[in-house]
Amino acid sequence: MTNKTYGFDTLSVHAGAAPDPTTGARALPIYQTTAYVFEDADHAAALFNLQTVGFIYSRLTNPTNAALETRLATLEGGRGCTVASSGHAAQVLALFCLMSPGAEIVASSRLYGGSLQQMRNTYPKFGWKAHIVDADEPENFKRAVTPNTKAFFIESLANPGGVISDIEAIARIADDAGVPLLVDNTLATPWLCKPIDYGATLIVHSTTKFLSGNGTSMGGAVVDSGKFDWAVKGTDGGGKFPSLAGPEPAYHGLNFFETFGDMAYTFHSHAVGLRDLGPSQAPFNAWLTMLGIETLGLRMERHCANAMKVAQYLEKHPAVAWVNYAGLPTNKYHALARRYLPKGAGSVFTFGVKGGYEVGVKVVDSVELFSHLANIGDAKSLIIHPASTTHRQLSDEQRVAAGAGPDVVRLSIGIETADDIIADLEQALAKATS
């Protein structure tokens, strides 16, 4: 399955999952094992020295997880992938080998609230600093660069504001600054957008969402494009990424970039990142996510078509103040959506209710078909009022900046019959405003 001429939907079903060579089983086996028997002492030594590729212990690698890694790397057009226990674990893992105390990143203010939380409150405990900037103006990234900057971080399609970043413009600035651009591609999925095509270096995912697609499995992933020169020098003439392109003490001074080239990042994130931080994904979750990805294209097509119908309906509703869906021609991000997400603007978006916080809370209390919960990307339609839930910990100002003000309701439109989804919102809005 390395044939690059296969279409996206074929690769979604087949990449990484050939029939099992030992048993002929057609479905991917769940390798529910902690460890793997060595052939002999020499084989064991070679594995531990990273001189041969193989399985040692499932904290580092597992064959079911490896199948998911191959599939995601293939779909994103990347060189390698590392799966993790959650999207947030993947974000820490993604930055781990780039960062050290005093290192900085520049990140978009429109990120998912949980990611902003990580950056503002938890990364400082590692000595990492995040400059949060308005990504609508790509030049803001350039202005925030210092000699300690190690990465830029954006979302292709941001949760929940429906904000679309100009990936190509920000990737160019990252290139000039000699740093990798990380793109959280959770909401778009590679079916809608492949950020590596626009110059992104690393893609992070919460596979918990559209990739698994059924709201069953926590998971995350980091996909490496394999295109970054990790031996790049900083302004002081020293190596900017010593973990990847300097001697690694945990492997007798091995230089990952010299040894593994375009697989350096992926090898490091397994052999050092997963090994020492430990956020490995359960093989059962990887297996469920593999099943989910088989129908990714079918689901995304329906998700997007339904979202468009719901957005058009809400736009005309007298109780609705505004609808923020980039698929609508009136939307501020419509031009960027057509460029980066030509097949559809996803199915997570926000709208504002007239009457603010109170009415927003009443809408989520009145739905019947929608589920009121803190998730997105399920086949089922989901609803939440971010100001009272996911974005609660942010200040009023930060909430508005993140697109989660008091009147905002977030929808994740599922794949049900569109008329039923609309009828449920109709009755909920009627109840909330009566």
Q: Which residues bind ligand PLP (CB under 6 A)?
A: 86-88, 112, 114-115, 155, 159, 184, 186-187, 206, 208-209, 218, 220, 376
Q: Which is nearer to ligand PLP, 382 or 422 (CB)?
A: 382
CB of residue 323 to ligand PLP, shortest distance in Å:
20
CB of residue 93 to ligand PLP, shortest distance in Å:
11
SS3 assignment for the chain: CCCCCCCHHHHHHHCCCCCCCCCCCCCCCCCCCCECCCCCHHHHHHHHCCCCCCCCECCCCCHHHHHHHHHHHHHHCCCEEEEECCHHHHHHHHHHCCCCCCCEEEEECCCCHHHHHHHHHHHHHHCCEEEEECCCCCHHHHHHCCCCEEEEEEECECCCCCCECCHHHHHHHHHHHCCCEEEECCCCHHHHCCHHHHCCCEEEEECCCCCCCCCCCCCEEEEECCCCCCCCECCCCCECCHHHHCEEHHHCCEEHHHHHHHHHHHHHHHHHHHHHHCCCCCHHHHHHHHHHHHCHHHHHHHHHHHHHHHHHHHHCCCCEEEEECCCCCCCCCHHHHHHHCCCCCCCEEEEEECCHHHHHHHHHHHCCCCEECCCCCCCCCEEECHHHCCCCCCCHHHHHHCCCCCCEEEEECCCCCHHHHHHHHHHHHHHHHC
Q: Which is nearer to ligand PLP, 206 or 243 (CB)?
A: 206
Q: Which is nearer to ligand PLP, 86 or 109 (CB)?
A: 86
Q: Which is nearer to ligand PLP, 70 or 390 (CB)?
A: 390
Q: Which is nearer to ligand PLP, 240 or 410 (CB)?
A: 410
Q: Residue 232 is inside which H or E element, if any?
A: none
> Where does residue 281 fall: left (phi above 0), alpha (psi -120 to 50 degrees), or beta otherwise?
beta
Point out the residue whose Cβ comes nearest to ligand PLP: 87
Report phi then psi at 133, rounded to 5: -125, 160
Q: Which is nearer to ligand PLP, 348 or 429 (CB)?
A: 348
CB of residue 13 to ligand PLP, shortest distance in Å:
24
Residue type (1 letter), 183: V
CB of residue 185 to ligand PLP, shortest distance in Å:
9
Report phi then psi at 334, rounded to 5: -60, -40
CB of residue 242 to ligand PLP, shortest distance in Å:
28
Q: Which is nearer to ligand PLP, 28 or 84 (CB)?
A: 84
CB of residue 354 to ligand PLP, shortest distance in Å:
27
CB of residue 383 to ligand PLP, shortest distance in Å:
15
CB of residue 282 to ligand PLP, shortest distance in Å:
13
Cα 189-171-136 angle, rounded to 5 deg: 80
CB of residue 289 to ligand PLP, shortest distance in Å:
11
Q: Which is nearer to ligand PLP, 87 or 327 (CB)?
A: 87
Q: Residue 336 is inside which H or E element, if any?
A: helix 334-340
Q: Which is nearer to ligand PLP, 58 or 390 (CB)?
A: 390
CB of residue 379 to ligand PLP, shortest distance in Å:
16
Q: Which is nearer to ligand PLP, 331 or 390 (CB)?
A: 390
Cβ 352 vs Cβ 321: under 8 Å: yes
Q: Which is nearer to ligand PLP, 209 or 362 (CB)?
A: 209
Token pair belonging to 403: 């697109």
